[in-house]
Amino acid sequence: MRRLRGELRALRGKVDAYPGDEDDVILAGDLNASAFDRYRESFFVEFDRGNWKLLAEEGYPRTRFNGSQIDYLIATTRRGRQKGLVGEELTAQPARVWSGLAANGDKAFRKKLSDHFPVTTCVKVIADTD
């Protein structure tokens, strides 16, 4: 994750998809780790401070059929001169886990779609200030 932060910094302003004055970044995915178990991975700490916010908090639900919590959203946040998504366009915190889509352990969901539940947030459409 430290390498990812470095790569993002290096790309900023060098590609059309990430202009130098853009502060809105959201990372999403299966991190193969839980932010709330007894193991303390440093990347969760690093991506939940400073210019980043982990969109999960205590009580974060399971994100897979097997009960694990490994799927997360991490977004840039307002800090100093940086605008970021959290505190401006991002309206839902923490992220929502849609485990109800597979109520009662619906095996059809897992067989046809995934063993992971969707994890979402809401982003307000506003005039961009960064």
Identify the pLDDT of residue 30.
94
Asked if pLDDT for residue 130 goes beyond 70, the answer is no
Residue 83: CB atoms within 10 Å = 20
| Whole-number CA gyration radius for the chain | 16
- Specify whether the CB–CB gap between 52 and 24 falls below 8 A: no
Task: Spell out a b/e string for 42-54, using b for 16 or more CB atoms within 10 Å of the CB, else e.
Answer: ebbeebbeebbbb
pTM of the model: 0.85
Best CA proximity match to 75, nearest among 15, 13, 130: 130
pLDDT in tens, 15-71: 988 888 888 889 999 999 999 999 888 888 888 888 889 999 989 999 998 889 999
> pLDDT per residue over 63-121, tens digit each?
998 889 999 999 988 777 778 888 888 876 789 999 888 766 677 788 888 889 999 99
